[in-house]
Amino acid sequence: MDSRQLDLVEFELLKGTETMVNMIKNRKQVIGISNDLFNELLDYLDVNAEKLYYVRNEEGKRTIIYFESPVDKENLTHLLRQYSGEE
């Protein structure tokens, strides 16, 4: 199975497209996560994301994940709630 994760060059090539607009609308910001949790999120997305996504990580500060699909964003939000104990 091919990864749906875009690298920086691929993400930048989307500038001016409807896909980029959707990804900006469907971004999720996560602040202050550990390296272990960050790696678990990457593993989760690699297996479960249905459409394209791009991860921008500012180590120790925040991670922003851009999703083509709002469903992928909602699934990640649900997963993060489970980690935080909100569910």
- Model pLDDT, residue 83: 78
Which residue's structure tokens are 């980029």? 20
pLDDT at 84 over 80: no
Compute the chain's Rg from CA coordinates: 13
- Model pLDDT, residue 56: 95
Give residue limits of the domains in the chain.
8-84
The set of residues, in sequence order, having a beta carbon less than 8 Å from that of 4 and lying 6+ positions away, is: 45, 49, 50, 51, 52, 53
β-sheet with 62-67: strand ranges across: 27-31, 62-67, 53-58
- Model pLDDT, residue 24: 97
Give pLDDT tens digits for 15-70.
Answer: 999 999 999 999 999 988 888 888 999 999 999 999 999 999 987 788 999 999 99
